[in-house]
Chains A and B, each alone.
Chain A
Amino acid sequence: MSDAKSRMIARAARDIAPGMTVNLGIGLPTQVVNHLPANFPVCLHTENGLTGIGPTLPPDAADRNLIDAGGAYVSTVPGSAFFDSATSFALVRSGRLDLTMLGAFEVAENGDLANWKIPGKFSPGAGGGMELAQKARRVAVLTTHTDRAGNPKLLTRCTLPLTAAACVDRIFTDMAVIDVTPAGFALRELAQGVTVADVRHATGAPLHIPGDAIPIF
């Protein structure tokens, strides 16, 4: 993984506050857990029916019945609980999930998120993504700022089918931390070695720049 991606993931981890219940989506967000301090007080939830996710285990140490929603073999911690799928999503929809971190194909300046379908190319179904995006109290996105072809993923409007409308609060990318505000995208922090002009150039929507100094991560 590139340094920029690692720094993005480490930066995202700093938004997890002590005491939160958090769901980390499949892909980059799952790795956020590796950047939490040891003994950090947080409860991680996974859709397939576990709160209190412990460390990921190699195959030889794994329990065949204990996975996360992405299929990784995980473990429990003291205080973990198992439950059925209805209970798992009751936790999501009732507002008990303080934060979810999700991947994205596109995010719009009003917070619309598209991360589940590219018509004609990729349509495996949304899994639990719609409920996470729509009902977690806070939704953060972790994504590269542009796609592999260099096209912006932060746009005025999403072109792909939505996962949920107006749901994203904050976006962590390899270039910046950007909040979704009533006025659109607002730059909060810059990655090391990245300029405001770089971020503007790589963003497909207007970007509000704060008047004071921009923190670097």
Chain B
Amino acid sequence: MRLPDKTTTMEQAIAAIPDGATIMLGGFGVPGTPFLMIQELVRQNKRDLTIIKNDANETGMGVDHLLVAGCVRRLITTHLGLNANAIRLMNEGAIEVEFCAQGMLAERIRAGGAGLKGVVTDIGIDTEMGAGKQRIEIGGEVAMIETALRAGVALLHAARADTFGNLRFAATARNFSPLMAMAADTVIVEAEEIVPPGDIAPDDVHTPGPFVDHVVHVPQLSGEYAVVRR
């Protein structure tokens, strides 16, 4: 018995994403952002996308290319502080933005990945972030329901993948990726290194292969992955 080979080309993997798709993007700042797959989304001129990502990268990088190219209708995120362009588009009404508390974004995605309908929490309950959310009394306390998030597609960047899709992430590039890997109908991974099954020891796997649909090798990273000199 051997585990299936899920390697494919980036062009093919991205071509299957329809306009109007909801796409989760891994990454917190530069680490973990799948810059090359984002560029391919722009190149293939996807439209009307809903993007779920912790942040919108910085002006001129990553998610910002999608915004500039007019690919995005809606953005679910936690913080746009490093992307003045994203804030401007939000203020002009060119994109719709839903802000989440960062840990709640993680839990909403994890819940979606775990087949749950939502999360019961008190985070933000006394703030405008809690406005309009369904309240529930539990254990004698008032909490609110944060709905689970799923996506049609998750695009993730891994340091290392085997051909079956077992993944390892590097340092703080892990962030939302293992959660998003569980919460999308189709999970596409770009990996800096692709190895045969077994080369990542079972105890060393961060995301198990069955969550992953397609693995794309990116031997040459673009400049966007490099250390940012501010």
Contacts and interface: CB of A to CB of B under 8 A. Distances in A.
- Interface SS of chain A: loop
B201 interface: no
Nearest to B128: A161
Interface residues of A, number: 42
A42 to B, nearest CB: 19
A37 interface: no
Contacts of B78: 125-128
A163 interface: yes
Interface string A102-144: 0000000000000001000001111110110011000000000
A85 interface: yes
B105 to A, nearest CB: 8
Contacts of B65: none
A162 B127 contact: yes
A162 B126 contact: yes
Interface in B174-214: 174-179
Nearest to B99: A125
B54, B87, B99, B102 pick with most chain A CB within 10 angstroms? B102
Interface in A83-99: 83-86, 88-90, 92-93
Given A64-B226, A125-B80, A163-B127, A71 B175 contact: no
B126 A164 contact: yes
22 contacts: A65-B170, A65-B171, A68-B172, A82-B171, A84-B177, A84-B179, A85-B105, A86-B103, A86-B107, A86-B179, A88-B106, A89-B106, A123-B87, A124-B79, A125-B81, A126-B99, A131-B103, A134-B124, A161-B127, A164-B126, A165-B126, A165-B127
